[in-house]
Amino acid sequence: MSERLPNQSELASLIESRLDRSGYQDRHWTGSFWDYLGICERTPEVCRNAHQRLYDAIMSQGFESYRAFKRDLVRYKFFSDPFGGGADGIYGLDEALMQLVGYLRSAAEGYGTDRRILLLHGPVGSSKSTIARLLKKGLEAYTHTAEGALYSFSWMLGENCEIAPSREDPSVAQMTHEFPSPMHEDPLVLVPEDVRRDLFDRLNERYQPKYHGGRLWVAGEPDPFSRKVLADLMAFYDGDWSRAMRHVKVRRIVLSEKDRVGIGTFQPKDEKNQDSTELTGDINYRKIALYGSDSDPRAFNFDGELNVANRGICEFIEILKLDVAFLYDLLGATQEHMIKPKKFAQTFIDEVIIGHTNEPEYRRLQSNEMMEAFRDRTIKIDIPYNIRLDDEIRIYQKDFGPERTRGVHVAPHTLEVAAMWAVLTRLSEPKKAGLTLLQKLKLYNGKSIPGYTEDSVKELKEESPREGMEGISPRYIQDKISNALVSRQAIEERTVNPFMVMNELERGLDHHSLLNDEELKKRYRELLAVVKEEYEDIIKGEVQRAISADEDAIRRLCGNYIENVRAYTQKEKVVNKYTGKDEEPDERLMRSIEEKIDIPESRKDDFRQEIMNYIGALALDGKKFEYNTNARLYRALELKLFEDSRDTIKLKNLVSSVVDDDTQQKIDVVKQRLIKNFGYNDVSATDVLNYVASIFARGDSKSE
């Protein structure tokens, strides 16, 4: 007898508690054709077509509307990947996804776009495959729910699909074996078309769609196999359709790519080992002897990708790499919703066809005059790279968050500098005089820059319509961050910092498989220098704030400044707290603070009056002015305190081999503030302090 595992009962209880038996039973419901008619009467949405069901799947996850740069935008939660815990979440492509969902809405309404191929077009690594994967994964998850339920049927026949009388009752055909509809068709396809129209008129009276105004309709004839079985049953029962329907077993189906039910994926292969039967099915030669003919539908496997994707979605990977013969099959599949299996009549299909391709392939398609019919049947949606910094950072946080880096500390701004460089490579040089590429990046990221409004940003976007279609892909960035994480330095110090990642990014340019242009490599290196300079400014600011983070000192400095400003604006004296005498307001103190935020001499009176008006307005609202209430003044106070403290702390001495105990104690306080307030660890905080100290030692610090 095997030894009992420890806590085995707890593990068994855990498994049992997670199993959903009632849900399983719901998803595997079976019943008669008449039972299904009752379901249709109660919930007509089970008869939706593929485009309607996919659109509803997207909308069922919800969305949020927002406004950016004077445009109304929508963010669909479906594309955040709620089905996979966010693993395939899409960030920063809201405009492209809005266009995609708009296409599906139009198709769901029946406006004709359901007769087109949806072509995702963009540079490598721009999330085209991820979007297609999300559509398939989301549709599959939706069909698990009651709202997304759909049904197909099986034929109950003799052992070899024969229509033979049963031994018990010769007037009834045998019902010993189950043969599923090979293309997962809706059972209502078995209803004669003249009756079907009246049936759907009734169903549409009851149908109340949540997200669109499309009407229900099951089009076309049954597939060749079901058509033959139905014809044989009608002959057996002398045209009694109701008796023939006794052989129909309706079952709920769940779309599944793994089980090849309603979701298909086609990938180009070697032309010699590939033919169009992979799309439309092929003859089952083992059954020809049984049925006597290769044109008998019972001797045919309806298992091509377009067959199995019926009622759902079919993805074509790198669609424009397909042989021309395959593209011909797609012409009828889109426009007429028909495919032509070998030796059979055209067969109706109902599915969303989505392909993706890159720019060189698409340009080749445009230049090929023989492919006009294909071009006319495609709707192209550009999927560019991200051009918003925060969204690009989120891509790398998903892959290199604390739970994924296995104890290696990723220093603050490490992912930010990588994302910043990636976005800069994708932006076009601004045409506006005086605007740098880095400033343009900040404007796109929602930061305010004096002299630029939302209208300005909108103009910047309009003058560069191809922004995001070129540049460095996220895959390259992910590869180089991975290299940095497994480098000897990272393993020894358990820390990765921005300089390690920037070094990897620069070294990789020499071996980048998609970069052959030396001028472009030179430009990318120059952009790395821009990012490095920006990073230096960021960490200098953080060290400055850490040094001047003494709240009591800032509060005292703020109180002193406000007291002098009040006296200045009201033309009064200030009482010297040491001598007790009345003195003029301390102009030197006020200007030393105001200069830190670039208030010129000519505007000092206006600024001081603005501060007093601001304090007065707060008082009227019953609020108290604090040192950090006004962000601009707070920054000026921080910089002033840093300037006053810098000599005391002797930051430059950090680069010296000898540091006295008093200075070391103050440096340790600053380091702890960096760890507490900015997310550094001991190693990365020491590195930042040393680097900033070396900047000041060189004397090349910028005036803030």
**C-alpha span between 403 and 359 (Å, rounded):** 36
Q: Is the dihedral of CA 602, 606, 609, 610 positive or negative?
A: negative
pLDDT greater than 90 at residue 300: yes
Model pTM? 0.85
- Which of 303, 313, 309, 265 has its CA nearest to residue 281? 303
Q: Cα–Cα distance between 460 and 271 in angstroms, integer?
A: 45
β-partners of residue 65 are 74
By the 8 A CB rule, do 77 and 91 touch? no
Q: Residue 624: what pLDDT?
A: 85
Average pLDDT of the chain is 88
Tokens 């998903």 belong to which residue? Answer: 398
The C-alpha atoms of residue 276 and residue 304 are separated, in whole angstroms, by 9
Count other C-beta atoms under 10 Å from residue 87's C-beta.
11
Q: What is the pLDDT of residue 57?
A: 97
Asked if pLDDT for residue 372 goes beyond 90, the answer is no
| Domain boundary assignment for the chain | 390-514, 548-648
Residue listed under structure tokens 């007429």: 336
> Position of tokens 């890159």?
358
Lowest mean pLDDT across 120-129, 240-249, 461-470, 542-551: 542-551
- pLDDT tens per residue across span 102-115: 999 999 999 989 99
Q: Is it the case that residue 373 has pLDDT exceeding 70?
A: yes
Contact 382, 356 (CB under 8 A): no
* Whether the Cβ atoms of residue 176 and residue 168 lie closer than 8 Å to each other: no
**Lowest model confidence (mean pLDDT) among 120-124, 353-357, 662-666:** 662-666
| HEC profile of 286-323 | HHHHHHCCCCCHHHEECCCHHHHCCCCEEEECCHHHCC
pLDDT of residue 425: 96
Give tens-digit pLDDT for 542-597.
Answer: 887 787 767 777 888 888 899 899 999 988 888 877 677 888 888 888 998 888 88
Task: Yes or no: say if 688 and 542 are a contact pair by the CB < 8 Å rule.
Answer: yes
Distance CA 491, CA 270 (A): 43
Please check the confidence at residue 702 and state whether its pLDDT lies above 50: no
DSSP string, 141-178: HHTTSSTT-EEEEEEEE-TTS---B-SS-TTSB---EE
Q: What angle do CA 477, 483, 486 make, to 5 degrees?
A: 140
pLDDT of residue 107: 96
362: nearest Cα among 324, 301, 321: 321
Query: Phi and psi for 628 in degrees, rounded to 5?
Result: -105, 15
- Mean pLDDT in residue range 473-497: 93
Question: Is 78 a residue whose pLDDT tops 90?
Answer: yes
pLDDT at residue number 42:
95
According to the model, what pLDDT value does residue 555 have? 84
Q: Dump the DSSP string for 584-644.
A: ---HHHHHHHHGGGT--GGGHHHHHHHHHHHHHHHHHTT----TTTSHHHHHHHHHHHHHH
Inter-residue contact 220 to 189 (CB < 8 Å): yes
Kindly tell me if the per-residue pLDDT of 626 is higher than 90.
Answer: no
**Using H for helix, E for strand and C for coil, what is the string for 238-252?**
CCCHHHHHHHEEEEE
649 vs 656: CA distance, rounded Å: 13
The confidence score (pLDDT) of residue 652 equals 55
What are the structure tokens assigned to 373, written together? 């019919």
Question: In whole angstroms, what is the distance from residue 316 CA to residue 293 CA?
Answer: 33
Averaged pLDDT, 288-308: 91
pLDDT at residue number 329: 82
Is the CB of residue 88 less than 8 Å from the CB of residue 134? yes
Residue type, position 430, single letter: P
**Using one digit for the tens of pLDDT, what is the confidence trace for 222-261?**
999 999 999 999 999 999 999 999 999 999 999 999 999 9
pLDDT at 3 over 70: no
Cα dihedral 346, 348, 353, 359, rounded to 10, equals: 20
Q: Which amino acid is at 369?
A: E
Is beta strand 347-348 parallel, antiparallel or unpaired with respect to 63-68?
Answer: unpaired
Beta bridge partners of 121: 357, 382
pLDDT of residue 89: 92
**Percent of the chain at pLDDT exceeding 90:** 52
Which of 53-67, 251-265, 606-620 is predicted least confidently? 606-620
Ranges 129-133, 360-364, 532-536: which has the least confidence = 360-364
Q: In angstroms, rounded to a whole number, what is the distance separating the alpha carbons of residues 158 and 165? A: 9
Question: Per-residue pLDDT for 701 more than 50?
Answer: no
In this structure, the strands spanning 71-76 and 63-68 are antiparallel
Give the whole-angstrom CA distance, residue 301 versus residue 652.
Answer: 79
CA–CA separation, 160 and 229 (whole Å): 12
